[in-house]
Chains A and B, each alone.
Chain A
């Protein structure tokens, strides 16, 4: 008898789970209000469009947002989702007669899943614009998949693989980095600043994958170009996802250097910074952080004494005293209870660009190249400050050298120490010079000479 009851309970639970699972396909998603144009492609080739847009009312603009909402980097992915949703909660969702509809999908940080999801968003949801992703490798995979589809605009506010807007730009004609950046863009500036501080010999401690190579390469390139010295044997590389950073920190402690440049991601950040503090290096060796190392998403979870006073460079500086920045920070803080990370600012800015393009083109999104052209023409006031686009589709920002400070309410944030104005992805070089060198990698950290610095900067 007992077993029968047990099996009954089990089957009921299973049935409930399966029913919950089965109830969803096509079933009301919260954001979809009108039925998408139903295109039934019958095998054999005939394509029948069964629903034309109703006269007098324009088709809604459907946008697919892809972020890692589960998995190792879910916290950042959810920040990105917040930025996107907060923007539309605070702005009209009907622009030039077109309703904005979106669907946020979880990639789990996995390129294969992201590719399956993007197919779903384009084919099933009818997305005209895809906004994504957070990881450089996933973003690249998506860009490749979408490159063949001229009816889709790919907006990249976070994923920062250098080559997407550099040597491989022509491969992705429908991609634009609205609200985005290239990895080495912010660390170029830090290389210059470090030299100005009188540092002549620097060691590096970066994560051993493309993003780490590019962030670190940007720093080393400009620092050595200015005359500084980085000994390749003092460039430490730790595997992605290293749990215990203490062995690396002790190695750094024994090096005779003026400063250390560090870039870590995910769980390694907290461990690195805590060890750096606990081993007493924080007061002994100046630490220069790549942008993400001291992003608010990382420092907000650490004791203030571990991070206070640390220096980094970034296009996002939450403590910048400018109306667009302070308003944004207050708004996000009120809504989420957190000081925004750059992920929040990035998707917010992407939404801002989309709105501006839609207004400029009076709601006509049929030609995606026109949208890209329009976006390249704007000068927008964003949470990043004034944002303009270079001809490669990458933004030009004022990039700040930032210091972590404790606010009156006890929370930490980055405030600007010095601002480099109008920094593009090639700064301080010209595009022609810069593009002659290969993309930064573990082997190439920018020790080729590439000519004179461009004017300005």
Chain B
């Protein structure tokens, strides 16, 4: 533990873990469902943050990958009537194959070109989900994806999602602090320097995209079992863009930020909208305020101010 920052972080972590585990005892079914959703979309946004925040590669097609995984699960469940193991297996496979194909396509691009290619990739999945009626059910989607017996109740599934998201978060935490993660940051700061240093940046992007795609796949599988339904709108650009917005709102390159951003967006969309019809306006205002006054996102800005406060009191040394 390094000074007060470490203790604050530890305290927040323990407190949120305690609340997280005890949640089904504290609030009703509806709110538990909302938190489950927020955790899953949070994991999705974290997978975007890995690329955008650490690698400087803003993707606009991530929803295509998670939707491919969802469709894999839903197809095996609804159309093929396979067991849950096969469903998850096919879901994983679908997500990873799509990630691999996409990764090969983007590994030599960066910046705006990267964004445009990923945008097109996401919309290809959307287009396929509209067109391949026999597999995807087109607009009507695939309803009736049942969860396994031991996860059928809402709180059982909540705890399962909590555990999976925690494990994935820990993995992401380790990844961004590993040499691989640091090299990824190097990619964001200056690709040409990294090239000079002898890094194969194309391969690096391929791996980063695959790792990110894996977490998006997990999120897609969790989501389809939560909603028990999948339709083309899950693959649409708006779904991808919402993930990016959650990431920006919470703080790019913080990992915990996208999760918090996701909680805010889900809360606005599902709870505030009950009483406030113009909730998209509220969300828009929130984004404007964040972009204008907290460019690092909520978490980025808060931690920056915390560090500045500590520095002023001589409790910490400035980072840069």
**Which chain B residue has the least Cβ–Cβ distance from A110?**
B233
Set B33, B37, B234, B277: member contacting A106, Cβ < 8 A: B277
Chain A positions 119-178 with a Cβ under 8 Å from a chain B Cβ: 119-120, 123-124, 136-137, 140-141, 144-145, 161
A1-54 interface with B by 8 A CB criterion: 6-7, 9-11, 13-14, 17, 20-21, 24-25, 27, 29, 40-43
Instruction: Give the residues from 48 to 99 in chain B that come closer than 8 angstroms, CB to CB, to chain A.
Output: none
The secondary structure that dominates the A interface is helix
Q: How far is the CA of A40 from the CA of B28 in the complex (A)?
A: 6
Interface flag for A259 (CB, 8 Å)? no
| CB-based contact B293/A119 at 8 Å | no
- In the assembled complex, which residues on chain B have CB atoms less than 8 Å from the CB atom of A14? 286, 289-290, 293-294
B130 contact set on A, CB distance < 8 A: 209
Question: Judging by beta carbons under 8 Å apart, are B29 and A123 in contact?
Answer: yes
Residues 267-285 of chain B: 1 if any A CB is under 8 Å from the residue's CB, otherwise 0?
A: 1111111111101101001
Q: Which of A13, A21, A136 has the most CB of B within 10 A?
A: A21
Do A120 and B270 form a contact, CB below 8 Å, given A70-B280, A144-B143, A144-B144? yes
Decide if the interface of chain B is mainly helix, strand, loop or mixed. Answer: helix
Shortest distance from the beta carbon of A423 to any chain B beta carbon, whole Å? 25
Are the C-beta atoms of A441 and B271 separated by less than 8 Å? no
- Which of A42, A112, A120 is within 8 Å of B25, CB to CB? A42
Query: In B130-166, which residues have CB < 8 Å from any A CB?
Result: 130, 133, 138-141, 143-144, 153, 155-156
Which residue of chain A has the shortest Cβ distance to B270 in the bound complex? A116
Contact of B274 among A40, A103, A140, A145 (CB under 8 A): A103
Given A10-B294, A123-B30, A136-B140, residue A111 in contact with residue B233 (CB < 8 A): yes
Given contacts A140-B140, A145-B143, whether A21 and B227 have CB atoms under 8 Å apart is no
Taking the closest CB of chain A, its distance from the CB of B247, in whole angstroms, is 18
Contact partner, A112, options B29, B233, B275, B293, Cβ 8 Å: B233
If A112-B234, A136-B140 touch, whether A17 touches B277 (CB-CB below 8 Å) is no
B: number of interface residues (CB 8 Å): 49
Shortest CB-to-CB span from B184 to chain A, Å, is 30
| Cα distance A252–B285 in the bound complex, in angstroms | 45
Whether B270 pairs with A24 at a CB distance below 8 angstroms is no
- Contact of A43 with B28 in the complex, beta carbons under 8 Å: no
Q: What residues of B have a CB within 8 angstroms of the CB of A209 in the complex?
A: 130, 138-139
Q: How far is the CB of B289 from chain A (nearest CB, A)?
A: 5
Q: What is the 8 Å Cβ interface bit string for chain A, positions 107-120, against chain B (1 contact, 0 not)?
A: 00011110111011
Asked if A210 meets B140 with Cβ closer than 8 Å, knowing A24-B274, A110-B233, A141-B229, the reply is yes
* Docked CA distance A390–B33 (Å): 38
| Interface hits, A327-345 → B, CB 8 Å | none
Determine whether the beta carbon of A21 is less than 8 Å from that of B139: no
Scan residues 283-306 of chain A and give those whose CB is less than 8 A from a CB of chain B: none
Q: Which of B30, B141, B267, B289 contacts A21 (CB 8 A)?
A: B267
Is B24 an interface position by the 8 A CB rule? yes
**Other-chain contact of A140, B143, B153, B290 (Cβ < 8 Å):** B143
User: Digit string of B21-57 for contact with A (CB within 8 Å is 1, else 0)?
Assistant: 0001100111101100100000000000000000000
Instruction: Give chain B residues whose Cβ lies under 8 Å from the Cβ of A136.
Output: 139-140
Complex CA gap A7/B141 in Å reads 46
Determine the chain A residues whose CB is within 8 A of the CB of B29 once the complex forms.
41, 119, 123-124
Per the bound structure, the CA–CA distance linking A145 and B272 in Å amounts to: 23
The answer for the CA separation of A161 and B143 in the assembled complex, in Å, is 15
**Contacting residue for B30 out of A103, A119, A140, CB 8 A:** A119
A319-357, CB under 8 A of B: which get 1 and which 0?
000000000000000000000000000000000000000
Cβ–Cβ contact B229 & A21, under 8 A: no
Cross-interface CB contact of B229 among A13, A111, A124, cutoff 8 Å: A111
Bound CA span A73–B151, Å: 36
Contact check, A145 vs B229: say whether CB atoms are below 8 A apart: yes
Q: Does B202 contact A (CB under 8 A)?
A: no
Say yes or no: is B169 at the interface (Cβ < 8 Å to chain A): no
B31–A25 CB distance below 8 A = yes
Q: Within the complex, which residue of A43, A124, A144 is in contact with B24, where a contact is CB–CB below 8 Å?
A: A43
Contact A111 B267 (CB under 8 A): no
Q: How far, in Å, is B277 (CB) from chain A's closest CB?
A: 6
User: Considering the chains assembled together, what is the distance between the CA atoms of A9 and B293 in angstroms?
Assistant: 9
User: Does A85 sit at the interface, judged by CB under 8 A?
Assistant: no
Does A263 have its Cβ within 8 Å of any Cβ on chain B? no
Interface residue B15 (Cβ < 8 Å from any Cβ of A): no
A140 to B144: give the CA distance in the assembly, Å: 11
Q: Let me know if A20 and B155 touch, CB within 8 A.
A: no
A69 within 8 A of B: yes
Tell which of A6, A11, A141, A209 has the most Cβ of chain B within 10 Å. Answer: A141
**Is A364 located at the chain interface by the 8 A CB criterion?**
no
Q: Which residues of B contact A441 (CB under 8 A)?
A: 133
Query: Using an 8 Å CB-CB cutoff, how does the interface string of A92-113 with B read, 1 for contact, 0 for none?
Result: 0000000000010110001111
B264 proximity list for chain A (CB < 8 A): 21
The reply to whether A21 and B275 form a contact with Cβ atoms under 8 Å apart is no
CB of B33 within 8 A of CB of A210, answer no
Q: Determine the distance from Cα of A274 to Cα of B153 in the docked complex, in whole angstroms.
A: 53
Judging by beta carbons under 8 Å apart, are B289 and A13 in contact? yes
Contacts of B153 in A (CB 8 A): 43
Closest A residue to B277 by CB, please name it: A69
Question: Chain B residues near A70 (CB, 8 Å)?
Answer: 277, 279-280
Distance of A137 Cα from B236 Cα, bound (Å)? 15
Q: What are the nearest 9 A-B pairs in CB distance?
A: A10-B293, A144-B143, A124-B30, A137-B139, A43-B155, A43-B24, A111-B231, A123-B29, A137-B140
What are 17 contact pairs spanning A and B, CB under 8 A?
A17-B285, A29-B275, A42-B25, A43-B24, A43-B155, A111-B229, A112-B231, A113-B269, A115-B227, A120-B33, A123-B29, A123-B33, A124-B28, A124-B29, A124-B30, A137-B231, A144-B144
A-B contact sample (14 more), CB < 8 A, given A13-B289, A43-B156, A111-B141:
A7-B293, A11-B293, A21-B271, A24-B275, A103-B274, A111-B231, A112-B233, A116-B33, A120-B270, A124-B30, A136-B139, A140-B143, A144-B229, A210-B140
User: B residues near A, CB below 8 A?
Assistant: 24-25, 28-31, 33-34, 37, 130, 133, 138-141, 143-144, 153, 155-156, 227-229, 231, 233-234, 264, 267-277, 279-280, 282, 285-286, 289-290, 292-294, 305
